[in-house]
Amino acid sequence: MAEQKRNRNQRDTNHPQVVKTLNAGKWKTLEATMEYKSDLTNAFLTQNHRRIIQMFERLAMILRLAKEDVVAYRKIMDWHNNVNLAIANEQLETIEEQLVHSAPKGNSGVSINIPDSYKITFEVSHPITNGILNTIKSIDAQAANAEQAFFENKIDDPQLESARRQAMKVMNGILDRIGKVTSPGKREGGNFSTSHYVKLLKEPNFDLLELTDMPLEIRKSLGLIEEDKQPEESVAKKEKAPSKPKSSSTKSKAKTSTKAEAEGA
């Protein structure tokens, strides 16, 4: 891998260098600084820095209020670590495999300048932030590898754009899942209520996986689906209710009915 060095000529970015929680100054906070290398991560942070701090603090508020109830606390913490971030890591592995296949590593002597401004500090109220930032750093590393491969002429513009789209999807997915899984905490479309959401977490039937969007293959990879279970159920249904061949007239009636319904709609 060619040497990458930080450009001494400061280049402006659109995101602020420090993004603070609204709780800054009210109680103790943690400063989490992240340096990054890719243009993709810079674009992501420029577009999403406020949304990122909002999701950080939403999780923080939930965990602080749920700490006295082990079931509620473990439910949201386990989901975040073993589902939300795990999905991102699974998707990241796919990007890495594709990049290795299309652009094998090797030193081409190309030197790339990275702006000194490629860093950001989040002032937050809970260490839950660290896991998310570490995952974003891993995504950034793969995005930087793709950009490096592009400058080394190992991949072309469409391939670079494809890698960037995938990486951006992984980053956005982390925030999107937090937003969707916690959305029941909004009462009738109003503001998010932490106390209301924690009450929901205490309910045995409140299943966070039902609110989590993920591809079937990732569900299987994370052990969230018993692969042998579906075929057995399918076979059982076929044994109980063997299908009978439809006559051509029945098929014709069904098609006519469907067409008529569609025209009526």
- Per-residue pLDDT, 123: 94
Give Cβ neighbours of residue 230 (< 8 Å, ≥ 6 apart). Answer: none
pLDDT in tens, 48-82: 999 999 999 999 999 999 999 999 999 999 999 99
The whole model's pTM is what? Answer: 0.77
- Per-residue pLDDT, 190: 79
Chain-centroid distance, C-alpha 209: 14
- CA atoms in the 13 A half-sphere facing the CB of 98: 17
- Per-residue pLDDT, 170: 96
Instruction: Give the CA diameter of the chain.
Output: 78
- Per-residue pLDDT, 23: 85
25 backbone φψ class: left, alpha, beta (φ>0; ψ -120 to 50): left
How open is the CA angle 128-134-137, to the nearest 5 degrees? 145
User: Which residue type, as a one-letter code, is found at position 223?
Assistant: G
Buried b (16+ CB within 10 A) or exposed e, 241-252: eeeeeeeeeeee
First to last CA, the chain: 59
- Say how many C-beta atoms besides its own lie within 10 A of residue 198's C-beta: 22
Give Cβ neighbours of residue 58 (< 8 Å, ≥ 6 apart). Answer: 178, 182, 192, 194
Instruction: In whole angstroms, give the CA distance from residue 94 to residue 82.
Output: 18
Token output for 155:
């991949």
- Per-residue pLDDT, 224: 83
- Per-residue pLDDT, 107: 60
- Per-residue pLDDT, 99: 81
How open is the CA angle 84-122-83, to the nearest 5 degrees? 5
| Domain residue ranges of the chain, discontinuous segments joined by + | 4-231
User: Which residue type, as a one-letter code, is found at position 88?
Assistant: A
- Per-residue pLDDT, 189: 65
Give Cβ neighbours of residue 205 (< 8 Å, ≥ 6 apart). Answer: none
- Per-residue pLDDT, 143: 95
**pLDDT averaged per 10 residues, the chain (length 265):** 45 73 89 95 94 94 94 96 95 87 66 92 94 95 94 93 94 96 85 93 94 89 70 44 45 42 42
Give Cβ neighbours of residue 255 (< 8 Å, ≥ 6 apart). Answer: none
- Per-residue pLDDT, 97: 87
